[in-house]
Amino acid sequence: MREVPGRIWAYLGARFLDTAATTGLVTIVGKQIFDMTEGRPDAERLLMLGYLGLVQFIPTFVLAPFVGSIADRFDRRYVSSIGAGMYALLSLALFSYVRTEPTNLAPIFAIMFVQGATEALQRPASRALAMDLSPARVLTRVMALNAASWQTGGIIGPILAGVLFTVTPATPYLVFFVMFLASSAALLTIPTSGVARLVSDRAGGMQAIRDAIEGLRFVRKTPVLGAAITMDFFAAFFGGLLALLPAIADERLGVGAVGLGGLRAAVGIGAASVTLVLAFRPLERRVGPILLTAVAVFGLGTIGVGLSTNYIAAFGFLMLSAGADSVSVFIRSTLVPLATPENMRGRVLALENVFIGASNELGGYESGLTASWFGLVGALMFGGVGTLAVVAAYAFVFRSLREVDTFSDVIPT
């Protein structure tokens, strides 16, 4: 650990605080919305949870083709720090509004719309910083520490949010305000000399769109890429159960804010556990079949959550789904760069970001919408069965994906 420079620890601390506060904030905002709609018809309450995903999805989807240029043209420390500072202001706005015991949801949706836009702008710069700051000799160790920092944040943040919510509904937002400020300040302590600078000669709004179109053309000619990217998108779309966790906690399991925080933390625990296993036993064979199996298990986990009336069972199924999703993400994030020639990699990754970057938020909207039609359990059954149907269709249609054995099979020649 002594080989890891101090600037890396500053980044990791900032990443932990940012992730913990972001995950906790989104979790408790869902709880806030569900509580504020108490007394309304169940269908309307569930639809409001879907709208929370929608207002985060729209800015992410619109901005996704453009944000890579920002991360390449400007100092990534400052882009990340400004993003964390913006989160802090939004948390303070939520604190100020919630402590008035409001009944109007519109300001909350407006704030979360800006939060979605901020996340879209900050995410590429923040993710790239880990590699920018790392000397080659400790790169693999830093990437492992980076994964541990955000996964730990994803566990701690929701639990903290649930506990703080029992003090007053406004308390979590004030604490997250402080955490975001600390994250922003930590990023500013990173010395300029430690940051790799990239200035893209392809930057610019119209060029970003052209890059995405070129990436789309390449993906259409490479079935294994299209299958890997779009299957993950559809799985997240149908399996967007996280948006419904406030309703699951309240209506199905009869637990409050602390229980909700625990359910959301189960996702981080499941993902971190599988990531740890993959670090010691990386996948080497049967990559395509394992990917299909992982997405199917994700769908089965969604069905399991829908059928659960016991907290421990729901917790376990959430861990199972998150663990399976981690396998899928690991395989896709490895397959896509390997299957893409170096001169096309940026354009394909830009396209992937359009599909994947906003799929969870869009899935949240789908879940809320179907829950308003079919009820809470019906929506979860629909999502799980829909995911299984996607896996079956892809296994049949995309033979090239099904037959991938090792990662080297997809390296272009």
How confident is the model at residue 413, as a pLDDT? Answer: 57
Domain ranges of the chain: 1-185, 206-413
pLDDT range class, residue 201, cuts 50, 70, 90: very low
How confident is the model at residue 111, as a pLDDT? Answer: 97
Report whether pLDDT(127) > 80: no
- 86 or 272: whose pLDDT is higher? 86
pLDDT range class, residue 198, cuts 50, 70, 90: very low
CA angle 362, 166, 239 (to 5 degrees): 20
How confident is the model at residue 221, as a pLDDT? Answer: 79
- 42 or 70: whose pLDDT is higher? 42
Report whether pLDDT(2) > 60: no
Among the listed residues 54, 60, 134, 121, the one whose alpha carbon sits nearest the alpha carbon of residue 85: 121
Question: pLDDT (tens digit, 9 = 90+) per residue, 351-401?
Answer: 676 677 667 788 889 999 999 999 999 999 999 999 999 999 999 988 888
How confident is the model at residue 9, as a pLDDT? Answer: 85
Note whether 187 and 83 are within 8 A (CB).
no
- Spatial distance between the Cα atoms of 57 and 243, rounded to a whole number of angstroms: 12
Report whether pLDDT(21) > 50: yes
How confident is the model at residue 343, as a pLDDT? Answer: 63
Question: pLDDT (tens digit, 9 = 90+) per residue, 269-280?
Answer: 998 898 888 877
Q: How far is CA 226 from the centre of its chain?
A: 20
- 192 or 41: whose pLDDT is higher? 41
Report whether pLDDT(202) > 50: no
The fold adopted by the segment(s) 206-413 is Growth Hormone; Chain: A; (1.20.1250)
- 318 or 409: whose pLDDT is higher? 318
How confident is the model at residue 123, as a pLDDT? Answer: 80
- Spatial distance between the Cα atoms of 42 and 247, rounded to a whole number of angstroms: 9
This prediction has a pTM of 0.85
Note whether 127 and 68 are within 8 A (CB).
no
Same fold for the domain at 1-185 and the one at 206-413?
A: yes
- Spatial distance between the Cα atoms of 125 and 71, rounded to a whole number of angstroms: 5
- State which CATH number among 3.90.850.10, 1.10.275.10, 3.40.50.970, 1.20.1250.20 fits the domain covering 1-185: 1.20.1250.20
pLDDT range class, residue 285, cuts 50, 70, 90: confident
Lowest mean pLDDT among 5-19, 76-90, 186-200, 246-260: 186-200
How confident is the model at residue 136, as a pLDDT? Answer: 64
User: Torsion over CA of 217, 221, 227 and 229, rounded to 10 degrees?
Assistant: -30
Among the listed residues 237, 404, 241, 276, the one whose alpha carbon sits nearest the alpha carbon of residue 331: 404
Note whether 240 and 363 are within 8 A (CB).
yes
Note whether 367 and 265 are within 8 A (CB).
no
Mean pLDDT, all residues of the chain: 85
How confident is the model at residue 4, as a pLDDT? Answer: 62
Task: Give exposure, 170-191, as e/b (b: 16+ Cβ within 10 Å).
Answer: bbbbbbbbebbbbbbebbeebe
How confident is the model at residue 200, as a pLDDT? Answer: 44
